[in-house]
Amino acid sequence: MHIQILTVGKLKERYLVDGIAEYVKRLGPYAKVQMIEVPDEKAPENMSTAEEQQVRVKEGERLLAKLAADVYVVALAIDGEMWTSEQLAGSLDKLATYGRSQVAFVIGGSLGLSSEVLRRADMRLSFGRMTLPHQLMRLVLVEQIYRAMRINRGEPYHK
């Protein structure tokens, strides 16, 4: 399986970089994982709704430019479906079984994803109704992908 994790912004916090690197290393026997960052749009602190929309559109264009036509796209969105780890594992297993082994998980910037990216997505996945920093979401996502791979192989992993 080939998994892309496509994100907005550069990850700077050392603890997040180290944590993500550890899980990507652990995923080596299960999947090829590629982390792709696109630049975030510089924006003032107090933006109007229209300015926020413009930021999402510009970031969305950068994200869409990195997605191949045949990739299965999972958009991380607060209004998406909430799954258990086992459901994520089952979904990834089903995709691989039916020839959809190219999967991209897309994480937006601090303002979320543009409507264009959400339309391109094959599904929307939520990790809960609470807002999480998009930088932290990368670590949570890569850990859950690792957990899913272990589940699919019947290998033990903490509950």
Is 105 known to sit in a ligand binding site? no
End-to-end CA distance of the chain: 24
Is 125 known to sit in a ligand binding site? no
Is 149 known to sit in a ligand binding site? no
Is 47 known to sit in a ligand binding site? no
Is 63 known to sit in a ligand binding site? no
Are the CB atoms for 146 and 93 separated by under 8 Å?
Answer: no
Tokens linked to 132: 């999480």
- Tokens 């413009």: give the residue: 54
Is 137 known to sit in a ligand binding site? no
The candidate with the shortest Cα–Cα distance to 12, out of 32, 37, 33, 34, is: 37
Is 132 known to sit in a ligand binding site? yes
Is 130 known to sit in a ligand binding site? yes
- Tokens 């990834």: give the residue: 92
- Tokens 């550890």: give the residue: 22
Which residues line the annotated binding site?
76, 108, 127-132
Which residues line the annotated binding site for S-adenosyl-L-methionine?
76, 108, 127-132
